[in-house]
Amino acid sequence: MAVSISHLGYKKLSRVIFEWQAADRASLLALFILMEVTSHWLWCLFVWWHREIYVPHVDMDLFYPFWIGVTLMGVFFFWMASHLSPLRKDNGLLHRWQAILVTVYSIYIAAVILVMGHSSLVSGVSLVGGAMLAMMLIRRRYVWNAFLGHVILILAFTIFPYIGFTLPNMRQTATTAFPVVTYSYLGYTEVTAVESTIHASIVQNAKLSWDTLSQLLFSSTFFWRATHLYLALPKAIFIIYTFRTLLLILDDSKKEILQHANQDDLTQLKSRRYGLTQMKEALIAIKDQQDFSVILLDLDWFKEINDQYGHEVGDRVLMEVAQTLMQSLTDETIISRYGGEEFLIVLPDTKHDSAMTIAEQIRLSIANHAITVEDGITFNVTTSLGLYTLTHEERNCIKQSQEILAQREASNTAVETKKAKSRAIKFMGSQVNHPVSNYQPPHDICQRLICAADQALYEAKARGRNQVVSANEMYASREGVATSLYGT
């Protein structure tokens, strides 16, 4: 066969969901259906083997045709499970067989519910659980249409007896302890009422004794309720297990997706996007009296390394530089690969002098680290670093500038008309005249800080590379941080 029971494991199911082709998934669904049909066939075998006991509870004239039908369905679904996988190259034929598969199964399971006596437990598991499992494996449109047809069939089978249609039913309720003998179709509510009366006749004074236990075990009530549990519970457990496994797969996939999105595959550092996200979060979380430093690091002559030793050695250099950065810096530091041979280092709550010391230590650590290639050749790489520190005084200047601009904009809007001013005051209340308590930095603050560090980096390159340059010192002769960050 194309698929086997071993495919039900966690790892195999993961491959089914994400890697298998449509034909193989349809073949696996046919195998699942075959397992359910086999359980029905085994029930028929059990009843036949103990027919002397269960003849009063089962209409044997209907039982044998039902058993033959279950056998034919088993053969059909066995054939489907064996021959769907080879259709992977013919999508048109595969889609037709998928539609046939779910249609035949829906009709079959509705007939089983009808013939074995209506049970809300069996119906619910078949309707909801079976449809959800099928949607994992084949085209959802086919499953949805089959689900609606299944609902219509069950509703019809429930209503027909009340409008004069007699439907086949193997379920019989017969007892000598209570004068009720019925071989006609009864709705689930009526059957439950009759069986409750039978229970009352067997179990006297609402207590079960050893004398009445054997009567209860071989009663119609116990037999058919046990049958419905047999039909529903294994299927429900299997479906819940499958969906539990699916959720575990999705959780692992989510972790893997986030890891790929947030982590650079080569260096194992944070990706550029995730590094910028954490940088902005750190800026929002920083306290009033804390400074915020940013370092942009670039490898010197990296193109020549690639040209001389090859890109494989170049990748190795990037990995070893990344390892050196992680070993040299604390866990609070945000380290990301900014692009190519550039690395972004964010130092929250770090003053300018401390940041300069850290940057110089990084430069020396990388310069002293020897890179060894396969031929025993060793070489060293150097780096240029640009640094910018946003002090808490400068942050306050930016905050005040934002408030002034906001007040100006509010004033310009207010003078347009008196009516517009009245609406604005009513809507904004005191927020127009008072600063916002929770300070939010400008949306482009990260790019502004990196741009400042980048200017210092270019200056380090211009001065001969292998050194640290501070953008703060470069801006010292200018008008201030507002000009350096937001000026022209």
76 pLDDT higher than 90:
yes
Per-residue model confidence (pLDDT) at position 430? 41
Q: Tell me: pLDDT of 119 over 90.
A: no
The band of 467, judged by pLDDT with boundaries at 50, 70 and 90, is very high
Lowest mean pLDDT among 155-159, 238-242, 410-414: 410-414
Q: Pick from 401, 466, 470, 36: which is nearest to 235 by CA?
A: 36
The more confidently predicted of residues 426 and 388 is 388
Structure tokens at 266: 């080569």
Name the band, by pLDDT with cuts 50, 70 and 90, for residue 39. Answer: very high
Q: Angle, nearest 10°, between helix axes 220-262 and 188-202?
A: 120
* pLDDT of 426: 41
Is the confidence at residue 132, as pLDDT, over 60? yes
pLDDT of residue 173: 55
pLDDT of residue 300: 92
Question: CA angle at residue 385 from 380 to 387, to 5 degrees?
Answer: 160
Q: Pick the range with the lowest mean pLDDT from 41-45, 250-254, 376-380.
A: 250-254
Query: DSSP character for 171?
Result: B
Contact by Cβ (8 Å): 232, 122: yes
- How far are the Cα atoms of 279, 393, 403 from residue 287, in angstroms, in the given order? 14, 12, 19
In this predicted structure, which of 65-69, 220-224, 292-296 has the lowest mean pLDDT? 220-224
What residues contact 359, with CB distance under 8 A and at least 6 apart?
A: 295, 385, 387, 468
pLDDT at 163: 82
Which pair of tokens denotes residue 312?
């494989």
Closest listed residue to residue 466, CA positions, set 344, 303, 298:
298
Residue 403 banded pLDDT, cuts 50, 70, 90: low
CB 96 within 8 A of CB 89: no
Which tens digit of pLDDT belongs to each residue from 221-249?
778 888 888 888 888 888 888 778 777 77
d(CA 229, CA 361): 71
What rounded mean pLDDT belongs to the chain?
Answer: 78
- Identify which of 411, 414, 287 has the alpha carbon closest to the alpha carbon of residue 349: 287
| d(C-alpha 265, C-alpha 166), whole Å | 68
Residue 485: what pLDDT?
Answer: 57
Q: According to the model, what pLDDT value does residue 28 have?
A: 83
**pLDDT category, 45, cuts 50, 70, 90?**
very high
At residue 420, φ and ψ (nearest 5 deg) are: -65, -40
Alpha-carbon span 183 to 173, nearest angstrom: 7
Query: In sequence order, what are the residues at sequence separation of 6 or more whose Cβ sits closer than 8 angstroms to the Cβ of residue 411?
Result: none
Q: How confident is the model at residue 434 (pLDDT cuts 50, 70, 90)?
A: very low
**pLDDT above 70 covers what percent of the chain?**
72
- Here the tokens at position 388 are 């910018």
Task: Find tokens 């074995």 and name the residue.
Answer: 116
pLDDT tens readout for residues 192-204: 555 555 555 545 5
pLDDT at 90 over 80: no
Q: Report the share of the chain in percent with pLDDT over 90.
A: 25
Q: What's the rounded Cα separation, in Å, for the pair 279 and 289?
A: 18
CATH 3.30.70.1350 fits 272-486, yes or no: no
Identify the band that residue 180 occupies on the pLDDT scale cut at 50, 70 and 90. Answer: very low
- 24, 3 in Cβ contact below 8 A? yes
The domain segmentation of the chain, as residue ranges, is 5-258, 272-486
Report, as an integer, the average pLDDT of 476-480. 63
| Distance in angstroms (rounded) separating the CA atoms of residues 319 and 264 | 10
Q: pLDDT tens digit string along 134-153?
A: 888 888 898 999 889 888 88
- The more confidently predicted of residues 183 and 253 is 253
Listing DSSP states for 286-352 in one string gives --TT--EEEEEEEETTHHHHHHHH-HHHHHHHHHHHHHHHHHHS-TTSEEEEEETTEEEEEEET--H
Give yes or no for residue 443 having a pLDDT over 50: yes
Q: Which amino acid is located at 207 in the chain?
A: K
**CA atoms within 13 Å, Cβ hemisphere of 92:** 0
Q: Which helix (H) or strand (E) holds 159?
A: helix 140-159
Token couple for 93: 């034929």
- In the prediction, which pLDDT does 442 show? 67
Alpha helices in 160-219 (DSSP H): 188-202, 210-217
Bridge partners, residue 343, by sequence: 297, 337
Instruction: Identify the residue with better confidence: 334 or 436.
Output: 334
Q: Tell me how far apart the terminal alpha carbons of the chain are, to the nearest angstrom.
A: 73
Token representation of residue 176: 């000598």
Q: Give pLDDT, residue 310.
A: 87
Alpha carbons 481 and 488: distance in angstroms, whole number: 12
Give the model's pLDDT for residue 427.
40
Average pLDDT over residues 91-99: 84
Max mean pLDDT among 111-125, 223-237, 263-277, 358-372 falls in 358-372
